[in-house]
C-alpha cells in the first residue's frame, strides 16, 4: 500500500458537494469511481474540505491508499482522461505514509466572489453571486478586519453544525474590488458549517448600509446564528488552497 | 408597430447556436418564446450574427417589431425574468423604424480565448480552447498582422460557405497573452462561415512552429480551405461587439 496526495480542482455546479451520499452525484464518488476503474479494488478518498453542493475548488487536497504500482506522475493524467471535464486532478504525488489530508491541515483559504453589475454576467454566473447594486467596500473591509483572530464564531455557524467548539482562528479576512467584482478572501485554521457564506452574507449587510462595521462585535458576542446576516449563495464560493 | 433594438449576452454552451432550427434549442427561439409570452403574437428576432453552436456573445445585437406598448426600459427586465440564466437582454431601446441589426452592421468584433495551462482550467473550460503547450505569441502576432486589410479570405471559409464573394476587410487582428491565456481579437466588416475559428486554428499552427508567419501569404493566395490550419473549437469564441 502507498499513500497518495492529490490536489483537485472542480466546478461544483453539477455536484451535490464533495462528500459521498446516497442518491446524489458528488465529487468524492466521481473521483473514487475513476480510481477504482483505473486501479481496481475499493478506494476511499479523504478530502480536507467537505465543500457543499455548488461550491467550487481550485485547491482541494485529498489522500488515499493504493495497491497499484502506477507511477504517481502518470496517475493524474490517466484519471483526468476518465473524469468529466469539470473535475481535474491537478497534482498526484507519493506521500509519507502518515500524511493525513484532513488531520494535517494547518489552514484553509476560501474566496467568495460577488458581481455587482446590473446585467446578469452570463459567462461568470456559475461562479459568483450576482447581486446588482452598490456596496461600500471600505466598510466591508472594516467589518472584515473585526473577524480576524481567535474568536467564537457560533453566530456564523449553521444551526446544524454539530461540532463541540465554535472557536476558530481567522488568519486573514480581506475584501477587494476589481471592476464590478468584489472578492472576499478568508483564511482560517478551520471553518464551521457555512461559516464563509454566513460571513459574506453579513459583510454584504454592512456594505449595503444596514449595519455599521462595529456591529460585527455585537454579532460575535451574541453567539447566535440569527444575529448575523443571511447566508450567501453557494455558487460564489471557491476553496483556493489548503496549507499544511 | 415599434422597432426595438436589443443587445444580448449569452453562454452558448447549452445551445445549438443563434438561429432557429428544427429539433434543436437555439438562442433565437428561446428569446422569441420569452417575448411572445410577454407581449403576445408571433415575434421574429433578427440577430446581426448567426453564432454557431457553443459560441458565446457579450454583444449580440438584434431587432424586432412589437405591438406591445411596454416601455423599452421595462422590456429587458421583464424578459430577463423569463429567460434562463445563461441568456440576458443587456439593453432594450426603441429604435428608428429603419434600423436593421443585420444590414446596418459596419463591423463585428470577435474574441477567441486559448488556455495553455497544463491542467484543465475547470472554471474556464466552457469559454476557452484548452490547448496545453507553449505557443510563440510573437510569431502569432506577426502572422495575424498579415491578415489585416481587404483580402480574399476563401482559404479561411468553411467549404459549406455559400456566399458569392469571399472578399472581406479585417480592420484588426491582434494576439495578446495574459498569464496562461492567449486572446485573439478579430474585427472585420463581415465574416465568412467559420472564418475566425479557421484563422485561430491557423495562428496556432504558426505559434507551435509548424509554419512561419510568412506562410499566411501562401494560404491567402491558395484560396482553398485545405491550405489553412484546422478549425479551432467553438467554445473559445465570443462575439464581443457589433459596430453600427
Per the CB < 8 A criterion, the answer to whether B241 and B59 are in contact is: yes
Mean pLDDT of B75-87: 97
> What are the residue numbers of the active site of A?
52
The strand ranges marked E within chain B are 2-10, 46-47, 56-66, 87-95, 107-115, 129-130, 149-152, 167-178, 181-188, 237-243
Are B85 and A238 inside 8 Å of each other by CB?
no
Pairing label, strands A167-178, A181-188: antiparallel
B49, B69, B40, B37: which is closest to B239 by C-alpha?
A: B49
pLDDT computed for residue B161 by the predictor:
72
Burial grade of B171 (CB within 10 A; 0-12, 13-18, 19 or more): middle
The domain defined by A2-95 carries CATH number 3.30.70.580: yes
pLDDT computed for residue A1 by the predictor:
86
Are A125 and B11 inside 8 Å of each other by CB?
yes
pLDDT computed for residue B203 by the predictor:
98
Q: Is B54 left (phi over 0), alpha (psi -120 to 50) or beta?
A: left
B73, B68, B84: which is closest to B31 by C-alpha?
A: B84
Looking at chain A, the number of H-run helices and the number of E-run strands are 5, 10
Partner A, chain B 55-74, Cβ-Cβ below 8 Å? 56, 58
Establish if B87 touches chain A: CB-CB under 8 angstroms. Answer: yes
The answer, yes or no, to whether residue B61 has pLDDT greater than 90, is: yes
- Chain A residues with beta carbon closer than 8 angstroms to that of B10: 122
CA closest to B76 among chain A residues = A119
Confidence of residue A164 (pLDDT cuts 50, 70, 90): confident
| Residue tagged 457543499 (cell numbers) | A52
Confidence of residue A162 (pLDDT cuts 50, 70, 90): confident
- The runs of H, that is alpha helices, within chain A are 27-39, 72-82, 137-145, 195-207, 215-222
Establish if B10 touches chain A: CB-CB under 8 angstroms. Answer: yes
Residues 6 or more apart whose CB falls under 8 angstroms from that of A1 comprise A65, A66, A67
Are B122 and A86 inside 8 Å of each other by CB?
yes
Contacts 24+ apart (CB under 8 A), A78-86: A78/A38, A79/A31, A79/A34, A79/A35, A79/A38, A80/B120, A82/A34, A82/A37, A82/A38, A83/A30, A83/A31, A83/A34, A84/A30, A85/B120, A85/B122, A85/B125, A86/A10, A86/A11, A86/A13, A86/A14, A86/B122, A86/B125
Are B10 and A122 inside 8 Å of each other by CB?
yes
Phi, psi dihedrals of residue A5, rounded to the nearest 5°: -105, 130
Establish if A120 touches chain B: CB-CB under 8 angstroms. Answer: yes
pLDDT computed for residue B33 by the predictor:
97
Establish if A125 touches chain B: CB-CB under 8 angstroms. Answer: yes
The answer, yes or no, to whether residue B104 has pLDDT greater than 80, is: yes
Identify which of B10, B87, B123 has the shortest CB distance to residue A58: B123
Distance (Å, whole) CA A170 – CA A188: 4
- Chain A residues with beta carbon closer than 8 angstroms to that of B30: none
pLDDT computed for residue A189 by the predictor:
97
Q: What is the pTM of this model?
A: 0.94
Confidence of residue B93 (pLDDT cuts 50, 70, 90): very high
Establish if A223 touches chain B: CB-CB under 8 angstroms. Answer: no
> What are the residue numbers of the active site of B?
52
The answer, yes or no, to whether residue A145 has pLDDT greater than 80, is: yes
The answer, yes or no, to whether residue A160 has pLDDT greater than 90, is: no
Per the CB < 8 A criterion, the answer to whether B97 and B206 are in contact is: no
N-terminal to C-terminal alpha carbon distance within chain B: 23
CA closest to A236 among chain B residues = B123
Phi, psi dihedrals of residue A238, rounded to the nearest 5°: -140, 130
What residues are paired with A243 via a beta bridge? A107
Architecture of domain B107-243: 2-Layer Sandwich (3.30)
Identify which of A85, A120, A125 has the shortest CB distance to residue B125: A85
| Residue tagged 475566425 (cell numbers) | B196
Identify which of B11, B90, B122 has the shortest CB distance to residue A9: B122
pLDDT computed for residue B180 by the predictor:
96
Mean pLDDT of A5-16: 98
Q: How far is A55 from chain B (nearest CA, A)?
A: 11
pLDDT computed for residue B159 by the predictor:
78
How many contacts, defined by CB atoms under 8 Å, are there between A and B?
Answer: 50
Distance (Å, whole) CA B33 – CA B26: 11
pLDDT computed for residue B14 by the predictor:
96
Mean pLDDT of the residues in chain A: 96
Q: What is the pLDDT of residues A229-240, one digit of tens each?
A: 999 999 999 999
Mean pLDDT of A198-220: 98
What nine digits make up the cell of B217? 501569404
Distance (Å, whole) CA A62 – CA A56: 15
Pairing label, strands B167-178, B149-152: antiparallel
Q: Is the dihedral of CA B196, B201, B202, B207 positive or negative?
A: positive
Are A123 and B88 inside 8 Å of each other by CB?
no
Mean pLDDT of A167-194: 97
- Chain A residues with beta carbon closer than 8 angstroms to that of B56: 122-123
The DSSP letter of residue B122 is T
* ipTM value for the complex: 0.92
pLDDT computed for residue B92 by the predictor:
97
Are A56 and B127 inside 8 Å of each other by CB?
no
CA closest to B59 among chain A residues = A122
Establish if B16 touches chain A: CB-CB under 8 angstroms. Answer: no
Are A90 and B238 inside 8 Å of each other by CB?
no
Establish if A80 touches chain B: CB-CB under 8 angstroms. Answer: yes
Q: What is the pLDDT of residues A64-108, one digit of tens each?
A: 999 989 999 899 999 999 999 999 999 999 999 999 999 999 999
CA closest to A130 among chain B residues = B85
A29, A3, A27, A5: which is closest to A14 by C-alpha?
A: A27
pLDDT computed for residue B160 by the predictor:
75
Query: How large a percentage of chain A has pLDDT more than 70?
Result: 100
What residues are paired with A152 via a beta bridge? A167
Q: Which among B81, B123, B131, B238 is the top mutation candidate for probing chain A, defined by the most A β-carbons within 10 Å of its own β-carbon?
A: B123
Q: How far is B171 from chain A (nearest CA, A)?
A: 26
Mean pLDDT of A105-115: 98
Per the CB < 8 A criterion, the answer to whether A196 and A93 are in contact is: no
Identify which of A58, A123, A238 has the shortest CB distance to residue B58: A123
pLDDT computed for residue B1 by the predictor:
86
Concatenated DSSP letters for A29-87? Answer: HHHHHHHHHHH-S----EES--PPTT-EEEEEEEEEEE-----HHHHHHHHHHHS-TTE
Q: Where in chain A is the domain with CATH 3.30.70.580?
A: 2-95
Q: What is the pLDDT of residues B119-131, one digit of tens each?
A: 999 999 999 999 9
Q: Where in chain A is the domain with CATH 3.30.70.660?
A: 107-243
Amino acid at each position: 500500500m502507498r499513500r497518495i496526495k492529490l490536489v483537485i480542482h472542480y466546478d461544483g455546479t453539477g455536484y451535490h458537494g464533495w462528500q459521498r451520499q446516497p442518491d446524489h452525484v458528488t465529487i468524492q464518488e466521481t473521483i473514487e469511481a475513476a480510481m477504482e476503474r483505473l486501479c481496481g479494488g475499493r478506494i476511499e478518498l479523504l478530502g480536507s474540505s467537505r465543500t457543499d453542493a455548488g461550491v467550487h475548488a481550485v485547491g482541494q487536497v485529498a489522500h488515499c491508499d493504493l495497491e497499484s504500482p502506477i507511477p504517481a506522475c502518470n496517475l493524474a493524467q490517466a484519471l483526468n482522461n476518465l473524469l468529466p471535464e469539470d473535475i481535474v486532478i491537478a497534482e498526484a504525488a507519493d506521500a509519507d505514509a502518515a500524511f493525513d489530508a484532513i488531520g494535517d491541515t494547518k489552514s484553509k483559504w476560501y474566496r467568495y466572489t460577488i458581481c455587482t453589475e446590473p446585467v446578469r454576467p452570463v459567462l461568470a454566473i456559475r461562479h459568483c453571486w450576482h447581486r446588482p447594486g452598490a456596496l461600500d467596500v471600505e466598510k466591508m473591509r472594516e467589518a472584515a478586519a473585526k473577524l480576524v483572530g481567535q474568536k467564537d464564531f457560533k453566530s456564523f455557524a449553521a444551526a446544524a453544525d454539530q461540532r463541540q467548539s465554535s472557536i476558530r482562528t481567522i488568519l486573514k479576512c480581506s475584501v477587494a474590488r476589481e471592476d464590478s467584482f468584489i472578492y472576499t478572501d478568508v483564511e482560517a485554521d478551520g471553518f464551521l458549517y457555512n461559516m464563509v457564506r454566513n460571513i459574506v452574507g453579513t459583510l454584504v449587510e454592512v456594505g449595503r448600509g444596514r449595519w455599521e462595521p462595529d456591529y460585527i462585535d455585537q454579532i460575535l458576542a451574541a453567539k447566535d446564528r440569527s444575529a448575523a446576516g443571511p447566508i450567501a449563495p453557494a455558487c460564489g464560493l471557491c476553496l483556493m488552497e489548503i496549507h499544511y
